[in-house]
Amino acid sequence: MKTFYQLMLFVCFINTSIVQAQNNYPQNYFRNPLNIPMQLAANFGAVRTNHFHMGLDLRTNSQENLPVVAAAEGYVSRIKVERYGFGNAVYITHPNGYTTVYAHLNKYFNKLDEYVKERQYKDEKWEQDITFQPGQFPVEKGQQIALSGNTGGSAGPHLHFEIRDTKTEECLNPLLFGFAIPDTVAPIISGLYWYDRRFSTYEPGANGIAVKKAGNVYTSHLVQVNSPEISFAIKAVDKANQGFNLGIYNAELLMDGKLIYSFKIDKVHYDETRYINGCIDYTKFIRDKMGIQHLSVLPGMKLQNYSLSNLAGIINLPDEEVHTIEIILKDTKGNTSRLTTKLQFNKTSDKVSSTGKTLMPNEGKTISTENTEINFSKNTVYDAVNFNAYEKPDSNPNAISNSIVLHSPYIPVHVEYTLKIKPNRKLTNTEKDKAVILLDYGSDKDVVKVQWNNDWAEGKFNRLGTAKLLIDNNQPSVSSGWSEGALVNNSSLLLKGTTKVGDIVSFRAELDGKWLRFARVKDNFIYTFDEKCPRGSGSHTLKVTTVNTAGNTNIQSFTFQR
């Protein structure tokens, strides 16, 4: 028995050594940025809407204001304050060539917090992106740098933690740096899919294959396909010992024992993270909330350092023989799952309809309707799209165009395209100044202020859906939670912003004639009382100016006592 346990320890050591040998990242240089055990809510490379998850989401026991500490010595090189995204974030540059990032924070350490506050009042601007010199805010390993929170695009209290290459700014997989996060759970496979690659992966789409599980080994029935050219995709999640669904780190696809595709999520640059949409079945992800990852390269997917360049994953079946398919999934700890199946080409009817205006990867194209022009660059799509654009009447009384159906919101685009719409009547200059294009893609809407090119309204978008041209004469507004002239004993003032179309793009608050720092949390504006408005300071007038996407401006005044 002793020999068995010694053997198992040796195997675990070998697995860990293999994983570490795959990279040159320093092991155990960085410490846990929290003073509680590291538990993952999300890992590096997990599938997110329009991006890979670029770091670790560390659980904070569903609490805010836990101490966040520097993972190693260095200096604060940058901070960000923003409505969405990271919210409040700290960047620390380290002498070993790496930068760590800590996001969704509530508060910086006192000296830094005061600096940022002074800068906000000097600039009369809440959102900030400030860089620092090495001597301004040096930190030691383990020094408290902030309090954890739920700011920015966070959906619940946690700490988002990244490790970046300082020189290239690539985000690196923190799990390759030797953090002590218990993980003995292999990836879990719940589905296998194949695609007819004579056509686009979007049309006719995925063909599902049921899988059976026995331990960490999965099987399926014989897969018979009616195409001589196919690819596979896998529905799977990884789990650490805490049980959250995590992303897959490494996948390999073999046919008859030969490797034909492999991906590994070691590093991604923010400039490339949108390529996630070319690595997944986007239609399934957006429409059905299913994370299915391709085990092949789509023709417009150009993400570097993700898949091996000489292995495209396209399976050619020149005969009707039975072939063995094996899919191997691994996490950063070496925990492994395998799926094996048999594949056979069965010649049957292979007719697939193909209609519409085809939009191809790596080719620019302009597609037009009677009153619309859509200009796509060569980097717009990941796979061929039988693009269908058409107009239909719109019942909105403020609409000055038909509704323009731009194919489907379930097909991704990688870069912005330009949409031009001709209004259905002659507009005055005042109307032109209040014109916006609204794009509805089902789960949300994007609204942009029109740029006019003669009589054409132009806007740029990075999703497909249904667009229309509108005149927006509605003013934005904010509402207070107190009665006029009331005594406010709360620790903060809250204003709720609303606008009928688009967004509030500008907010300015002045207390008795002087700019006052309000933080923005989605559509709420919050001022935390400080020395600018101390208790017992009497009656005050708060003047608030808001501007929406169309440029409509509203000035409101509120009074209160403190």
pLDDT confidence band for 216 (50 / 70 / 90): confident
From the CB of residue 182, how many other CB atoms can be counted at a distance below 10 Å? 12
Instruction: From 295, 293, 272, select the one nearest 282 (Cα to Cα).
Output: 293
User: Residues 258, 247: contact at Cβ < 8 Å?
Assistant: no
Instruction: Of 22-31, 120-129, 456-465, give the lowest mean pLDDT range.
Output: 22-31
Is the pLDDT at 21 greater than 50, yes or no? Answer: no
What is d(CA 185, CA 269) in angstroms, rounded to the nearest whole number? 28
Question: Is residue 232 a contact partner of residue 326, using CB atoms and an 8 Å limit?
Answer: no
On the question of pLDDT at 43 being above 80, the answer is yes
Residue 1 has pLDDT above 80, yes or no: no
Of 119-133, 227-241, 261-275, 347-361, give the lowest mean pLDDT range. Answer: 347-361
Whether pLDDT at 356 is above 80? no
Rounded-to-10 torsion of CA 445, 450, 451, 453: 110
pLDDT at 355: 55
pLDDT (mean) for 207-228: 94
Give the separation between CA 223 and CA 221, rounded to whole angstroms.
Answer: 6
- Cβ-based neighbour number of residue 31 at 10 Å: 16
* Residue 210: closest CA among 195, 237, 191: 191
Percent share of the chain, pLDDT over 90: 88
pLDDT value of position 349: 55
- The mean predicted confidence, pLDDT, of the chain is 93
Give me 233's structure tokens: 């995709």
* Backbone φ/ψ region at 407: left (φ over 0), alpha (ψ -120 to 50), beta: left
Q: Which sign does the torsion angle of CA 75, 28, 43, 20 carry? A: positive
* The residue type at 485: G
Q: What is the mean pLDDT of residues 299-303?
A: 94
pLDDT band at residue 351, thresholds of 50, 70 and 90?
Answer: low
Q: Give the mean model confidence (pLDDT) for residues 175-197.
A: 95
Confidence of residue 354 (pLDDT cuts 50, 70, 90): low
Q: Whose structure tokens read 């509680």? A: 36
DSSP H or E segment with residue 119? helix 110-123
Distance CA 243, CA 40 (A): 9
Q: How far is CA 452 from CA 4, 355, 435, 459, 497, in A?
A: 76, 33, 9, 9, 29
Q: Are 54 and 275 in contact (CB under 8 A)?
A: no
* Confidence class for position 9, pLDDT limits 50, 70, 90: very low
